């Protein structure tokens, strides 16, 4: 994703896309995240570049996931996050914990860590795992059954949770986890609710989440934990479109040369212009009139590696008129050889994302 720090470095090169750079990702994760090896520690981060952003109070929020690689449950996992300025100076640090108190064998848990202050100088983060303790087993005896996820101006998710165990499920918390379209996906949101009363054996309780629509999110999961039990990580597979709304999908990324001939991702060369094109569709809610929808198609090209600097940002404008296919495209002439990956986005004419990011494509630019 694009961050403010990268934007400042590229401002002279791409001034027309300032709003895109500011909004997509305000905090860089270019400092490498380090942690003890799996054999030494037994827990690891699922992503070396966890998602981070500035909240409405100006604090920096880091969201990630921890995996227990052991064949026994662990507890007391501690995660250290350092918050750095442009010069690499450590401005502050915080220690947090996963949302699950007990992580089952080979299981995962999200974590959310927030900076102590609303420091605008924070531009980089670093995350380290500190340690854990072994834990008594929590049986996986909570069953979550989600209803279709309703996507509108807000995201609504209801369902029921059932205690299939022999003792009551006390202090039951349910976590709603959102992931982006990266491969592997990154966590971009975690919401938590607590069931009001203990759930007796063999009985169920209804639950409901109401959250803001996170335009970065493209897939969703649920997990629950109580004093006694855990649930399996449950996919939210069914989606329903509410009266927002127009939902746009970016499907593919294709490459062609200056003559319009399709080329492979390994056939690019420095100095030879190419065209990057996607297929996009718009879906309207049931009963919604088929009005036109202006859009802006953005292409971002980043260098592959630990510090994925932005190489290029391009844009093209168009309009959806009814549920027809659009094929927006952007031209780019590589100036540097190496490995890069392409990211694509579609925004409306009010600078709001109306589609999840498109599939990420890895390309190889050869020397001239």
Quick one: pLDDT at residue 100?
97
CATH: 2.40.50.100, 3.30.390.30, 2.70.50.60, 3.80.30.20. Which one for 246-366?
A: 2.70.50.60
Quick one: pLDDT at residue 202?
96
Quick one: pLDDT at residue 183?
58
Residues forming beta bridges with residue 37, ordered by sequence position: none
- Which residue intervals of the chain bear CATH 2.60.40.10? 139-241
Quick one: pLDDT at residue 36?
40
Quick one: pLDDT at residue 182?
64
Second CATH level (architecture) for the domain 139-241: Sandwich (2.60)
Confirm or reject CATH 2.60.40.3230 for domain 31-134, answering yes or no: yes
Quick one: pLDDT at residue 195?
96
In SS3 terms, 259-308 reads as CCCECCCCCEECCCCEEEECCEEEEECCCCCCCEEEEEEEEEEEECCCCC
Q: Which of 110, 109, 35, 107 is nearest to 72 (CA)?
A: 107
Instruction: Extract the tokens encoding 68.
Output: 């227990």
Quick one: pLDDT at residue 20?
39
- Which residue intervals of the chain bear CATH 2.70.50.60? 246-366
Give the strand pairing for 229-230 and 139-140: parallel
Distance between CA 95 and CA 318 in Å, rounded? 46
Quick one: pLDDT at residue 66?
94
Q: Tens of pLDDT along 120-172? A: 899 889 999 998 999 999 999 999 999 988 876 678 999 999 999 999 999 99
In SS3 terms, 297-321 reads as EEEEEEECCCCCCEEEEEEEEEEEE
Quick one: pLDDT at residue 49?
72
- Which residue intervals of the chain bear CATH 2.60.40.3230? 31-134
Quick one: pLDDT at residue 357?
80
Burial bucket for residue 295 (CB in 10 Å: 0-12, 13-18, 19+): buried
Q: Which of 50, 55, 82 is nearest to 66 (CA)?
A: 50
- Residues of the chain whose pLDDT is less than 50? 1-40, 243-245
Instruction: Extract the tokens encoding 73.
Output: 């449950």
Q: Does pTM top 0.85 for this prediction?
A: no
């Amino acid at each position: 994703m694009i961050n403010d720090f990268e934007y400042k470095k590229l401002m002279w090169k791409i001034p027309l896309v300032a709003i895109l750079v500011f909004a997509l990702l305000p905090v860089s994760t270019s400092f490498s995240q380090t942690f003890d090896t799996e054999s030494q520690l037994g827990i690891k981060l699922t992503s070396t570049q966890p998602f981070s952003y500035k909240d409405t109070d100006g604090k920096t929020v880091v969201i990630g996931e921890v995996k227990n690689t052991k064949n026994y449950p662990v507890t007391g996992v501690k995660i250290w996050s350092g918050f750095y300025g442009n010069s690499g100076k450590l401005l502050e640090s915080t220690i947090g914990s996963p949302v699950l108190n007990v992580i089952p064998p080979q299981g995962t848990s999200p974590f959310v860590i927030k900076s102590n202050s609303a420091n605008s100088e924070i531009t980089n983060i670093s995350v380290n795992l500190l340690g854990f303790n072994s834990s008594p087993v929590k049986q996986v005896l909570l069953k979550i059954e989600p209803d279709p996820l309703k996507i509108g101006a807000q995201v609504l998710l209801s369902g029921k949770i059932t205690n299939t165990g022999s003792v009551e499920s006390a202090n039951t918390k349910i976590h709603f986890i959102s992931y982006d379209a990266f491969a592997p996906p990154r966590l971009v949101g975690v919401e938590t609710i607590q069931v009001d009363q203990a759930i007796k054996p063999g009985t169920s309780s209804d639950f409901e989440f109401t959250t803001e629509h996170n335009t970065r999110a493209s897939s969703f999961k649920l997990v629950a934990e109580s004093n006694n039990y855990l649930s399996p990580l449950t996919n939210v597979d069914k989606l329903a479109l509410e009266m927002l709304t127009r939902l746009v999908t970016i499907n593919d990324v294709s490459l062609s040369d200056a003559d319009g001939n399709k080329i492979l991702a390994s056939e690019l060369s420095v100095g030879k212009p190419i065209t990057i094109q996607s297929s996009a569709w718009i879906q309207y809610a049931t009963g919604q009139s088929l009005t036109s929808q202006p859009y802006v198609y953005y292409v971002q090209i980043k260098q592959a590696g630990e510090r994925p600097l932005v190489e290029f940002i391009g844009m093209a404008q168009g309009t959806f008129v009814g549920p027809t296919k659009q094929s927006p495209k952007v031209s780019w002439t590589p100036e540097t050889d190496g490995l890069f990956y392409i990211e694509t986005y579609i925004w409306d004419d009010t600078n709001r994302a109306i589609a999840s990011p498109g599939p990420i494509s890895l390309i190889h630019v050869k020397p001239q």
